Amino acid sequence: MLIAEGSSDCYFLPGVLSRGLEKLIQDCPSHVDVQEVEQYSLYSIADHADLRRSLESDGGDYDLIFVHRDYRKADEWFHSFFRTLEPLGLRNVVKVIPVQTTEAWMLADGDALRVASGSSGLSDRQLGVPRRPSEVERIPAPKTLVQGLLPDTKSHYNLLAENIRLEQLEQVPSYQRWAQDTRAALSSLGFMR
């Protein structure tokens, strides 16, 4: 399950996290069934009490819960989030915190961005894609770049999520952190050593 806010986050992250999780479980010693990461339906994740009520009434049993916030507001928000949801006993909550915004991750692979945007004639430089994926988090306004390339539609962001090369994302420090935290959560569940 993914808890996120913002249309581009909700359209892009489930596909990318599902693919990343599939790749991570290849290291598990035994077979692990993985369901697609689904967006948890909420109007807003800003109200922690409302989120808590929704999760309580849902009654879902989730092995992993991915929670996304943009970097600039993550620390304070997560502190409050964990304090509010502590009585639910949620385990294995994995933070998804791209430096800047999720759109920085979207700029890690020019080929995938060209496919999703229909901009086959543009170079990486013209798209605003840096030479090395590890540099995407240094881009001052990744959201503005991506919004100039992709219409805010689910199909475009899904297409990008399906085509972005995980090898490119694996060079992005905040994605590496997500993968490391996910491995730790899988280990605590007994799926990995």
pLDDT band at 42 (very low <50, low <70, confident <90, very high): low
**Is 66 part of any domain?**
yes
Mean pLDDT of the chain: 85
**Is 113 part of any domain?**
no
Specify the pLDDT at position 60: 60
Prediction pTM value: 0.88
**Is 112 part of any domain?**
no
Predicted confidence (pLDDT) per residue in 118-162, tens digit: 998 999 999 999 999 999 999 999 999 999 999 878 899 999 999
Specify the pLDDT at position 80: 79
- Domain span at residue 8 reads 2-98+154-188
**Is 107 part of any domain?**
no
| Cβ partners under 8 Å of residue 192, min gap 6 | 27, 28, 29, 183, 186
The candidate with the shortest Cα–Cα distance to 46, out of 97, 2, 5, 1, is 5
**Is 25 part of any domain?**
yes
Which CATH number is 94's domain given?
A: 3.40.50
pLDDT band at 12 (very low <50, low <70, confident <90, very high): very high
Predicted confidence (pLDDT) per residue in 77-127, tens digit: 777 777 777 777 776 788 888 887 899 999 999 999 999 999 989 999 999
**Is 106 part of any domain?**
no
The candidate with the shortest Cα–Cα distance to 69, out of 104, 39, 102, 36, is 102
Flag whether pLDDT at 43 surpasses 60.
no
Instruction: Report, in this order, helix, strand and coil percent for the chain, each rounded to 5.
Output: 60, 5, 35
**Is 125 part of any domain?**
no
The answer to whether residues 185 and 64 touch, using CB atoms and an 8 Å cutoff, is yes
- The count of domains in the chain is 1
25 or 89: whose pLDDT is higher? Answer: 25
**Is 140 part of any domain?**
no
